[in-house]
Amino acid sequence: MGKYLTSGWLNFDYLMKMHQNFIFAVGARGIGKTYSAIKYCMENGIKFVFVRRSNVQLNFISAPVSHVLRPYLMDIGKWDDCTTDPIKDVGYLYKVDEDVVAVATSLSAVANIRGFDGSDFDAIIFDEFIPKKGERVLVDEGAAILDLYETVNRNRELQGRPPVKLICLSNSNSGNNPMFVYFNLVNIYANLQKKNKEVYINQERGCCIVRYDASPISAQKAQTALYRFARNTKYYDMAIDNIAEDITEFHQAKVNIKEYDPIVKIGEITIYKHKALRMFYVTEYQSGSCREIAGDEKGIIVFQHDYWTLKEHYVNNHIQFNNYADECYFRLVSGLKW
């Protein structure tokens, strides 16, 4: 059986049979990502740590009416046997028949759970790891999730036990998100979308990315009232077709760098100006010497002051980029948002 069950819902066994320890599953809305992950863990006796970004989100998915375990437990007739116990400064303990099945926490609370015994937990599920537009993100989210992983995993591999699975789930809100940036997966994900590919596996790093395109459930949802109304919108592209808006809009090109002169290096990128045309090129590769500005807060202020006209050139499509990550970084240092 492939990525989807015969019923059309996401098949979580497909992900687990890739035998990777760091899993990123990105798909359209409502195709069963979270439900399938929870179902797999519960049916296989895998205790898990469930993570959301903020405490507000954590409290919402731990309330009775919107509880993250409710859909699955309702289906198997065990919802009435579920209890949720608060843990001060950490989150909640989820129990079924008084047995612990999961602990729920937020990224903002991760620092408080260092030292906790995670030996009984074999998976971490980071739900909605790609933030929505305007959603507040934490500084160094990638480092925060690795801190949590280290806390739960500890030295189990040195003791001959398999490592913890980190399972990151989300809708395709953006290719330029904190987790992909931190783990250098931005260009990889962008290329998957551009080339209509769905699977990336890196055996050496023990990670995989799976894009859930062409979902049978999405095809059915496309005929419902909301999506008939929202057709030809960016929301539809994300929710039904699993398309990250910012990737479709980026300006990639391959150029003859000999036709350009470097004008400034800011942090990780070098910006070139064409010798004859009003065109610019941005890449992480530097050829020739030019002014260099640090990519820290002070340097970004200097860059925005001294090279403010580059914003206008960007809006007028005068700037091309070697890859998607270069454009993301340029927008960051220029103070632009998608």
pLDDT tens for residues 199-240? 999 999 999 999 988 888 888 888 999 889 988 888 888 887
pLDDT interval class at 334 (50, 70, 90): very high
Q: What is the radius of gyration, based on Cα positions, of the chain?
A: 22
Q: What percent of the chain shows pLDDT beyond 70?
A: 97
Instruction: Report the b/e string of 209-234 with b at 16+ CB within 10 A.
Output: bbbbbebebbeebbeeeebeebeeee
- At the fourth CATH level, which superfamily is domain 12-234? P-loop containing nucleotide triphosphate hydrolases (3.40.50.300)
**Which pLDDT value is given to residue 172?**
85
* Separation between Cα atoms, residue 223 and residue 252, nearest integer Å: 34
The pairs formed by 94-102 with CB atoms below 8 angstroms and a separation of 24 or more are 94/50, 94/62, 94/69, 96/42, 96/69, 100/47, 101/41, 101/42, 101/47, 101/48, 101/69, 102/41, 102/47, 102/48, 102/49, 102/50, 102/69
Element (H or E) spanning 24, and its range?
strand 22-27
Q: Comparing 26-30, 113-117, 124-128, which segment has the lowest mean pLDDT?
A: 113-117
Using the predicted structure, report yes or no on whether residue 270 has a pLDDT greater than 90: yes
**Which pLDDT value is given to residue 89?**
85
**Which pLDDT value is given to residue 252?**
81
Q: How many CA atoms lie within 13 A of 96 on its CB side?
A: 15
What rounded mean pLDDT belongs to the chain?
A: 91
Q: What is the pLDDT of residues 239-248, one digit of tens each?
A: 877 777 777 6
Q: What is the pLDDT of residues 153-166, one digit of tens each?
A: 989 999 999 999 99
Enumerate the domain spans of the chain.
12-234, 257-334
